[in-house]
Amino acid sequence: MQNLIFTLNLVIPVFLIVGVGLLLKKLKVINDNFVSISSKVVFTVSLPALIFVETTKISIGELFNLKLIGFVCIITVILYLIIWLISIPYIKSGSDRAVFIQGSYRSNYAIIGLALISNVFGSTGLSKASILLAFIIPLFNILAVIALTLPVRKDKNLNFKRLLLEILKNPLIIAIIISLPFSYFEVKLPHIIFSTVNYLALLTLPLALLGVGGFLNFSDLKRASGIAFSSSFIKLIFIPLVATYTAYELGFKGTELGIIFVLFGCPTAIASFIMAEAMGVNSRLAGNILLITTLGSIVTITLGLFILRQNGLI
φ/ψ of residue 76, rounded to 5? -60, -45
Contact 213, 19 (CB under 8 A): yes
The domain spans of the chain are 2-310
pLDDT value at residue 280: 78
Residue 154: pLDDT above 70? Answer: no
**pLDDT recorded at residue 155:** 46
> pLDDT at position 272, please?
87
Q: Is the pLDDT of residue 121 over 60?
A: yes
- Taking alpha carbons only, the member of 113, 119, 109 closest to residue 6 is 119
* pLDDT exceeds cutoff 60 at 253: yes
At 25-84, the pLDDT tens digits run 999 999 989 988 988 898 889 989 988 888 887 766 666 788 999 999 999 999 999 999
Taking the CA atoms of 85, 88, 89 and 91 in sequence, report the sign of the dihedral they define. Answer: positive
Q: Which residues of 7-18 are buried (b: 16+ CB within 10 A; e: fewer)?
A: beebbeebbebb
Mean pLDDT of the chain: 88
pLDDT higher at 159 or 234 = 234
pLDDT tens digits for range 178-211: 888 888 788 888 999 999 999 999 998 899 899 8
Give the pLDDT confidence score for residue 63 in this predicted structure. 63
Dist CA 91 CA 176 (whole Å):
38
Instruction: Provide the pLDDT confidence category of residue 282 given band limits of 50, 70 and 90.
Output: confident
Q: Enter the pTM of the model.
A: 0.86
Average pLDDT over residues 245-264: 96
Tell me the β-bridge partners of 157: none
pLDDT exceeding 70 applies to what percent of the chain?
93
Query: Does pLDDT of 87 surpass 70?
Result: yes
Backbone region of residue 312 per phi and psi (left: phi > 0; alpha: psi in -120 to 50; beta: other values): left
- Pairwise pLDDT comparison (97 vs 225), residue with the higher score: 97
pLDDT in tens, 264-276: 999 998 888 878 8
The answer regarding whether domain 2-310 maps to CATH 3.40.30.10 reads no
**Amino acid sitting at position 120:** V
Q: What residues are paired with 107 via a beta bridge?
A: 268
